[in-house]
Amino acid sequence: MSAQLTPNDFKISRIVAGMMNLSAWRMSTPELVNWIHACLEMGITTFDHADIYGGYT
């Protein structure tokens, strides 16, 4: 399921996968790739890789 943000065809998934501090997850590259593929299989196609979020949490 996706949400349309603009009048054109640009859409994002309704659920966004947070990837803050990805290196701290201590997963191997193949494990991370598998995680991304699992997200895609569930329809999650939008990934947030910000270093910090509001309130510095």
What is the torsional sign of CA 55, 44, 11, 23? positive
**pTM check: above 0.75:** no
Contact by Cβ (8 Å): 22, 49 = yes
Which position has the higher pLDDT, 4 or 51? 51
Catalytic residue among 22, 53, 56, 57: 53
Q: CB–CB of 47/16 below 8 Å?
A: yes
Give yes or no: 53 in active site. Answer: yes
User: Residue length, the chain?
Assistant: 57
| CA distance from start to end of the chain | 28
Tens digit of pLDDT for each residue in 6-28? 677 778 899 999 998 888 889 99
Higher pLDDT, 36 or 52: 36
- Which of the pair, 33 or 9, is modelled with greater confidence? 33
DSSP 33-57: HHHHHHHHHTT--EEE--S--GGG-
At residue 5 the predicted structure's pLDDT band, cuts being 50, 70 and 90, is low
More confidently predicted of 34 and 49? 34
